[in-house]
Amino acid sequence: MLFYRLLLHLYPTSFRQEYATEMCGIYARRRRETSSLALPFLWMAAIFETLWNAAAVHADVLRQDLRYTARSLRRSPGFALTAVLVVAIGVGANTAAFSLADRTLLRPLPFPQSERLVKLWEAVPGYTRMELSPANYRDWKNMNHSFEAMGACTWSDVNLVGQGEPERLSTAMVTSEILPMLGIQPVMGRVFSGADDVHGASGTLLLSYGLWQRRFAGDPAILGRKLLLDNETFIVIGVMPRGFYFPNRDAQLWTPLRLGPDNYQDRDDNWLQTIGKLRPGISLAKASADMAVVTAQLERQYPKEDERTYANVYLLRDDVSAQSRMLLLALAGAALCVLLIACTNLANLLLVRALQREKELAVRTAIGAGRERLVRQLTTESLLLALAGGALGIVAAGVSLPLLARLAPNSLPMEQASLFDWRVLLFAGLLTALTGIVFGVAPAWRVCRNSDLTALREGARAGGGKKERLRSALVIAEVACSVVLLVSTGLLLRALWKLQGQDPGFRAANVLTMRTALPTPKYDSTALRSEFYNRVLGQVRQLPGVTQAAYISFLPMSMTGGIWPVDVGSHVVGRTAAHTASLRFVTPGFFATMRIPLRMGRDVAESDTKDRPSVAVVSESLARRYWPNQDPLGRHFKMAFADHTIVGVVGDIRVRGMEIGSEPQVYLAYKQVDDGSLTGYIPKDLVIRTDGSSAALAPEIHRIVRAADAQQPVSNVQSMDEIVASTTASRAVEVRVLAAFAGIAFLLAALGIHGVLSFAVSSRTREIGVRMALGAGRGSIVRMVLWRGAWLAAAGIVPGVVLALYAGRTMQALLAGLKPYDTATFLAATGLCLAMTILGCVLPAWRAARTDPMHAMRLE
C-alpha cells in the first residue's frame, strides 16, 4: 500500500488531497483480488497507469492556469508589458554577454584534441610573449621531451598578380608540422609534407575556402594551377575547408615556411610563432618544467644570445590577451548586475501584484483552493511572463551582437560565433526559467502563506509591514547594483578619456595612409626601390590638397614589433626591454608629414646613401637613456648589424598604441641598407598629409602607383585617425556597452523606488488622510515620503560604494593608472543615485500631498 501511496505523489497535491483515499481503496480491493503470483503485473500496471494519468492531470491543471493567467494578464496589460520588458532586458544583456564570453573564453578551439595544443613564446625580462628565433625554435623542438610535434608559422602578406587586379593577400607561412598537428583535412588536394618546406623546393600553396570561392569562383580544377605571388610561382596543392582559420581569421592562403641556414645565424632575430602539441598525458605544468630545463641548457650554451631567456607555454585556447579577457569579464559582471536588478524589479512587480490580489486569493482559498494550487497558479503566471521576456531578450541580443562582436579579439583561430547555437539558447533558457521560478515563487509563497481570511475583511490594509520590508530590501539591492555599475562605467569612461587624451607624439588629423608592399626579390635592389618611392612620392606631392608625403617601414600603432637590441659599446647588451628600441626605415620628410617634432640636428636626407656612413634619427628617450645630459648628436651605436651615427633627435611617439608604453625609436635612412638585407623593413607604408580639402585622394594615388608598377597592389587605405582610434576601439565599445547597461540599471532602479513608494503611499492613503485631518500640513506629508525615499537610497548607496570599490580594484589593470577610488567618479555616481531617488519619489510624494482627507477617511 505504501508503494501506491508513494506513487500518488506524482499527482498534483490538490488532486491527491481530493481523491487519494478513494484511489487507495480501489487499489486495495484490486490487490485483494490478485493472486500473489500476479502481483508484479499489478504493480507494473499501477506504475504505468499513474505515470500516464498524473501527466494528464498536470496538463489539465496547466491548461487551466494558462487560461486563467491569460485572462488576468489581459486585464492588466501595463503590468504584463512592464514585466516582459524587464525580463527581456535582463536576459538579453546576459545572452549577448554570454555568447561573446563563450566564444572568446570558454568554447574549445575547433580542432581535434585542441586541449593539447599550446603556444610557445620566448620570455626575457620586460617581454613575456616574444616570438622565437629560428635557432631557438630548432633547438627547443629537438631538445624537449614533452611535445609530440612542434611547428612554426609567420605572417607574410603577398601580392597576387596576373589574375586581374593585383591584390594584397594575408598569408600565413607554416612549417609542414602545423596542419597535421591541427588535424584538419583539406576539402581538396593535400596539406604540406616535409618535402614542401625544404629549402629550394618548388613553391606550393593552400587556398582558404573563402579565397577559393571569391577569387576563383570555386573552380573544381584549381589543383595544380600556377599562381604568381610576389613574382614567384606557386602551385595550388589543396583547398582548406570552410570555417578553418589559422593562425587567425585574416589568413587567406598558406605557403610553406622554409628555414634555411641563413635563418639560423642570428639567435636574437625573433619572428616565429610557435605551436606545439603536448604528448598524451603531459600536463601544461610538466611541459613548462621541461622547457625550463631546455632553456637553461641553451643559456649555458649561448650565454650572450640566450641570456635570461625562458619559455612561456600557454594553451592555444588561452592565447587571448589579459586585457580582452578582463574586458569580457567586466562585461559579463555588468550583465549580471543588470539581470539582478531586472530580477529584483520583476520580483517587486509580482509581489505588488500578488498583494493587490490578496483579496481575490483569499476568496479562492475560502472556496477551497489549496495553497499549493494558488502558488502553482502564480508561478505559472510568472513563468509565462519570464518566457515571453526571455524570447524578446534573445531577439534583442541577436540584434545587438554585431556591435558586441567587436569586443571579441580577432586573434583566435575560430569562426565568428553565430548567436543562436544551442549553448547560447540553453543558457538563455535556463536563465529565463530561473528568473521566472526564483523570482516568481518567492512572492507567491510569501503572499499565500498569510492568505487567510483577514484579507477578506472590508478595509483591510493591503501589505503588512513585513512585506514592505521585503520590498524595501529588493529596492536597496537595486540601488546597490546600480551604484556598482555607475562607478565601474565611470571609471572605465575616465580611463578611456585619459588614454584617448594622451599625446601620441604626432598629429593624426588629416593624415591618409596606405600600403604598397614592394615584393622581394623583385625589389631587392635599393636603387630600384628608391626609384619607385621617388616617382610615387613626387607625383603624390603634386596632387591638389596634399601638403607632404613620405614612406616608412611600418606605421606607428599598426605594427608593434621590429624591436632590436641597441649596442652603444659601454653598456651591457641584452634583449631585455631596458636595452631595445624599435627600428624603422624612413624617407626624408616623414617627421614633417607626421608632425613629429625635430628637437635637434636634422632629418634623414636623400644624400644619405649606401656609400656614406649610416645615419640615424633617434627619439628623445633613447638619447636620454644612453647620453643623459649630453649632446647625443654625432654619437655612435650598433643596431641591426651596422654602426650608425646620430644626426637628429625627434620627439617620442606611441608606437604600441594608446594603451601601452613604447620602446625608444630609431629611424634609419631608406637608402642605407644593403641590397636584399633586412627585407622585412622595406618601407611600404605611405603617409600623406592633406590640407583637408580633398576628399577622394585614394583613386588618384592608386593611379599613380599603377603607373609606377602595374603589378603593385595598394592595400590598407586608412586615415591615421582611424588607426589611432582602433588601438582603443575595443575599450571604447566596451565603455559604450557598459554605459548602456548602467543606464538601463539606473532606470530600472528608479522604477523600483518609484514602485515601492507609490505602493506605500497608496496603501497608506487612510493613514495620510487621518494625519492631514489631524492637522499635518502637505509639506510634512511630502517630507515623510521623501524621507523614506532618501532612506532607501542611502541604504543602497552604502553597500553599493563598498562593492564598487571592490569592483574597481578587480579591474585596476584596465584603468590606465586611474585610482580605483577615484573620488570624482564616486561622487558623480552617488549623486546620480540620489537624483534617481528624487526622480522616483516625485510622483508618489505629489500624490500623497494631494490626498483628500475626507475622501481617504470615507474609505474606512
Partner 1 sequence: MQAESFLPLPSATFHILMAIASEDRHGYAIIQDIEQRTGGALRLSAGTLYRSIQRMLEQGLLVETSERPAPELDDERRRYYRITPFGAAVARAEAKRLTDLLSMACASGFAPGRA
Binding interface with partner 1 (CB under 8 A): 11, 15, 18-19, 21-23, 25-27, 29, 45-46, 49-50, 52-54, 56-57, 60, 64
Which lies closer to partner 1 via its Cβ, residue 22 or residue 165? 22
Residues 127 and 199 sit within 8 Å (Cβ to Cβ): no
Instruction: List phi, psi (to 5°) of 719.
Output: -85, 155
Residue entry with cell 482559498: 365
Decide: residue 239, CB within 10 A, 0-12 exposed, 13-18 middle, 19+ buried. Answer: buried
Query: In the block, which residue shows the cell 635557432?
Result: 135
What pairing do the DSSP bridges indicate for beta strands 665-669 and 580-586? Answer: parallel
Name the β-bridge partners of 236. Answer: 205
Q: How far is the CB of 15 from partner 1 (least distance, A)?
A: 7
Nearer to partner 1, 57 or 369 (CB): 57
The least CB distance from residue 50 to partner 1, in Å, is: 6
Q: Which residues 6+ apart lie within 8 Å of 117 measured at CB?
A: 109, 111, 181, 182, 275, 276, 277, 278, 315, 316, 317
What distance lies between CA 820 and its chain's CA centroid?
21
The CA distance from 811 to 579, in Å, is 31
Compute the least distance from the CB of residue 12 to partner 1, in Å: 10
CB of 21 to partner 1, least distance (A): 7
Q: Which is nearer to partner 1, 30 or 571 (CB)?
A: 30
- Minimum CB–partner distance for residue 456 and partner 1 (Å): 25
**Contacts (Cβ under 8 Å, ≥6 apart) of 466:** none
CB closer to partner 1 out of 23 and 549: 23
Nearer to partner 1, 10 or 387 (CB): 10
| Helix or strand holding residue 529 (H, E) | helix 526-542
Structural contact between residues 209 and 187, judged by C-beta atoms closer than 8 angstroms? yes
Smallest gap from Cβ 37 to partner 1, in A, equals 19
| Residue 63 beta carbon to partner 1: minimum distance, rounded to whole angstroms | 10
* Least spacing, CB of residue 19 vs partner 1, in Å: 4
Nearer to partner 1, 175 or 377 (CB): 377
Burial 294-332 (b: 16+ CB within 10 A, else e): bbeebbeebeebbbebbbbbebbbebbeebbebbbbbbb
- DSSP designation for 669: E
- Closer residue to partner 1, CB minimum distance, 29 or 612: 29
Which set of grid coordinates corresponds to residue 66?
A: 494558462
351 vs 378, 382, 441, 448, 481, CA distance in Å? 10, 11, 10, 11, 20
Instruction: Please report how close the Cβ of residue 29 comes to partner 1 at its closest, in angstroms.
Output: 7
> Grid cell 608593434 — which residue?
560
Give which of 713, 797, 710, 207 is closest to 480, Cα–Cα.
Answer: 797
Smallest gap from residue 374 Cβ to partner 1 (A): 17
The residues that bridge with 426 in the sheet, in sequence order, are none
Residue 44 or 660 with smaller CB distance to partner 1 = 44
Cα–Cα nearest to 575, from 269, 848, 298: 269
614 — alpha (psi -120 to 50), left (phi > 0) or beta? beta
Residue-by-residue DSSP string for 65-119 = HHHHHHHHHHH-HHHHHHHHHHHHHHHHHHHHHHHHHIIIIISPPSSTTGGGEEE
The CA-atom distances, in angstroms, between 95 and each of 88, 334, 537, 739 are 10, 12, 51, 17
Pick 29 or 599: Cβ nearer partner 1: 29
Q: 42, 34 in Cβ contact below 8 A?
A: yes
Quick check: 381 and 72 in contact, CB under 8 A?
A: yes
**H helix runs in 709-814, sequence order:** 720-726, 729-763, 765-773, 778-810
Residue 61 or 222: which CB sits closer to partner 1?
A: 61
Q: Closest CB to partner 1 among 22 and 860? A: 22
Q: Which long-range contacts (CB under 8 A, 24 or more apart) does 287-293 make?
A: 287/118, 287/144, 287/146, 287/147, 287/313, 288/313, 290/144, 290/145, 290/146, 291/120, 291/140, 291/144, 291/146
Question: Do residues 691 and 485 make contact, with C-beta atoms less than 8 angstroms apart?
Answer: no
| Residue number with CB closer to partner 1 (168 or 373) | 373
Express the helix, strand and coil content of the chain in percent, nearest 5 each. Answer: 55, 15, 30
**Shortest distance in whole angstroms from residue 62 CB to partner 1:** 13
Q: Shortest approach of partner 1 to residue 53 CB, angstroms? A: 3
Beta carbon nearer to partner 1, 51 or 293: 51
CB-nearer residue toward partner 1: 11 or 147: 11
Nearer CB in complex with partner 1: 15/746: 15
Q: How far is the CB of 72 from partner 1 (least distance, A)?
A: 18
For residue 286, count CB atoms less than 10 angstroms from its CB and return exposed for 0-12, middle for 13-18, buried for 19 or more: middle
What count of other Cβ atoms lies within 10 Å of the Cβ of residue 408?
23
Closest CB 70 distance from partner 1, rounded Å? 17
Task: Pick between residue 187 and residue 369 the one whose CB is nearest to partner 1.
Answer: 369
- In the complex, least distance from residue 213 CB atom to partner 1, rounded to whole angstroms: 58
Q: How far is the CB of 66 from partner 1 (least distance, A)?
A: 15
- Least distance from partner 1 to the Cβ atom of residue 380, Å: 17
In the complex with partner 1, the residue whose CB is nearer, 27 or 741, is 27
Provide φ and ψ at 237, rounded to 5°. -110, -5
DSSP string over 485-513:
HHHHHHHHHHHHHHHHTS--SS--TTEEE
